[in-house]
Amino acid sequence: MTALDTVSSLSLIKSVLSVCTVGQVVHTLPERERVRGMTSLADEVYLLRQKERDQVEVYDVINFHFRRFLTVPYSGGFIDIASCEHCRYVYIANETDYCIHGLDVGLQSAGTWWCVKDKPACISVNAAHNVLVTCNEVRKIKEFSSHGDLLRELTLLDEVINPWHAIQTRNGELIVCHGDRVDAVHRVCKISPDGRHIIQSNGGLRGSNIGQYKVPRHLAVDNNEFVFVADQNNQRVTLLSPTLDYIRQVVSSDDLKWLPVRLYFDAQRRRLYVADNEYKNGEWTSGRVVVFSVSKL
């Protein structure tokens, strides 16, 4: 074994030792309308429901006591939620009006609003405090400033069909999950900052075996850039390494009542939030959030 091989082996061991493992259920937030997303900011959890008013439920982040409702203007069509600690904003994507709403947490009111011009699928906030909007129908990722200025627009490769969610890593690469029910290929990809190259990927043909997915719908990333994947129609959450190597299944169908459609990782408290929604008779009906403790090996 060469010195380089030794260094690589030690790096791999160090990486494996820092892998997150999901423990017991900490709490289950109430079963009500369909859950469209969740996030946290400061000492509060924000849970987005599909309903006409009081769409955002706010809970204490420590003991999950309910605090209040927030009603978002222009109700209807809300699809995802994300937060920015730096700006103290909670952002909500609207798939009906093709727009993003920004709620000022300090004022507890709508602080900003802007048009995306394409139908959003999911959103995230990057290290530069900008909002990334994934538009799956046109295979684009749009980056906006906190005030809604369009900073850039990436058209993804032709092979990235139906991208659902994108998260940007610290070095600017994009982690994207893609594949709808009728698509042949369902994957998680790491894409170069310019959107032109797939650096690594996990998955392939649609399936239920190890390393396969049936609608990888949403992502969460921990501080070490390990990736949690909501594998919707396989009823599980999969954990990948920073290089997108398969590690293990961390949430199984035994841990869920329905289908996992959204994830949120609270790095400070090491908790994984999983939105668990019911799909019945061709419609999304009920939803809840299951919160898991996350520790290191």
Of 50-54, 73-77, 82-86, 138-142, least confident by mean pLDDT is 73-77
Calpha distance 246→142 (Å, rounded): 28
Beta-carbon neighbour count of residue 201 at 10 Å?
17
Give residue 166's pLDDT. 98
Query: Percentage of the chain with pLDDT > 90?
Result: 82
Q: Is the pLDDT of residue 146 over 80?
A: yes
SS3 state at 8: helix
Q: What is the mean pLDDT of the chain?
A: 91
Domains of the chain as residue ranges with CATH? 33-296 (2.120.10.30)
Q: Tens of pLDDT along 178-199?
A: 999 999 999 999 999 999 999 9
Give residue 193's pLDDT. 94
Q: What is the pLDDT confidence band of residue 72, given thresholds at 50, 70 and 90?
A: confident
Q: What is the pLDDT confidence band of residue 219, given thresholds at 50, 70 and 90?
A: very high
Calpha distance 231→238 (Å, rounded): 7
Give residue 133's pLDDT. 98
Q: What is the pLDDT confidence band of residue 76, given thresholds at 50, 70 and 90?
A: confident
Query: Percentage of the chain with pLDDT > 70?
Result: 90
Strand order in the sheet with 198-205: 163-168, 174-178, 185-191, 198-205
Of 17-21, 70-74, 171-175, 205-209, least confident by mean pLDDT is 17-21
Q: Which residues contact 8 (CB under 8 A, 6 or more apart)?
A: none
Q: Tens of pLDDT along 3-53?
A: 444 344 334 434 444 556 677 899 999 999 999 999 999 899 999 999 888
Q: What is the pLDDT confidence band of residue 208, given thresholds at 50, 70 and 90?
A: very high
Q: What is each CA distance from 52 to 48, 90, 107, 213, in whole angstroms?
A: 11, 19, 22, 33
167: left (phi over 0), alpha (psi -120 to 50) or beta: beta
291 exposure class (CB count in 10 Å sphere: 0-12, 13-18, 19+):
buried
Give residue 296's pLDDT. 72
Of the candidates 129, 195, 209, the one whose C-alpha atom is nearest the C-alpha of residue 166 is 195
Give residue 184's pLDDT. 97
Q: Tens of pLDDT along 229-279?
A: 999 999 999 999 999 999 999 999 999 999 999 999 999 999 999 999 999
Of 162-166, 172-176, 233-237, 279-283, least confident by mean pLDDT is 279-283
Q: Is the pLDDT of residue 1 over 80?
A: no
